[in-house]
Amino acid sequence: MRAVIQKVKSASVTVEGKVVSQIGRGLVVLVGICNEDTFDDVDKLANTVLKLRLFESDDGSKMWQKSVTDLPKGQLLSVSQFTLYGNVKKGSKPDFHRAAKGHIALELYQQFLEKLKNGMKHVEEPENSVQDGVFGAMMDVALINDGPVTINYDTKNPKDRQIEDIQN
């Protein structure tokens, strides 16, 4: 699984002119699922997103001190994005053959959302702490990036896996 993780002040997803989800301070996670991904990858990515320390200390004096789960009102907005597996090695038209087929990707994506929700149960409003877009839909994603802070993570990249292992 691949993810682009962005620290945000706020974000929203609009489908066909209607806002379907929105968050305040937290993380936007663009999620790509490939045909080799398993539930193991779901666990790795969810754990990393929940533990990644991208937020400053309470007094703002130190960066990289808190995760989204440490914020009383922290929120997550997850957006499925098969295009993270786009390949342009053979020309100008992207090839998406590595992206998982819809029904397989949907199952893994739903499991990922459940893991995030379980990890956010202790925040002040857990029922609103994890939002997502509409799987397979054309979406307009709007966000106010905070920092900006943007992290790329791939569960299949050995260097990224070492980072995840250190966090456990």
Catalytic residues: 81-83
Contact 141, 13 (CB under 8 A): yes
> What span, in angstroms and rounded, lies between the C-alpha atoms of 99 and 119?
26
Number of H helices, E strands in the chain: 3, 6
Q: What is the DSSP string of 117-135?
A: HHHTTTSSSGGGSEEE--T
Contact 153, 45 (CB under 8 A): yes
For residue 68, the 8-state DSSP code is G
> What span, in angstroms and rounded, lies between the C-alpha atoms of 95 and 161?
26
> What span, in angstroms and rounded, lies between the C-alpha atoms of 18 and 99?
27
* Peptide linkage before 148 cis (omega within 30 of 0): yes
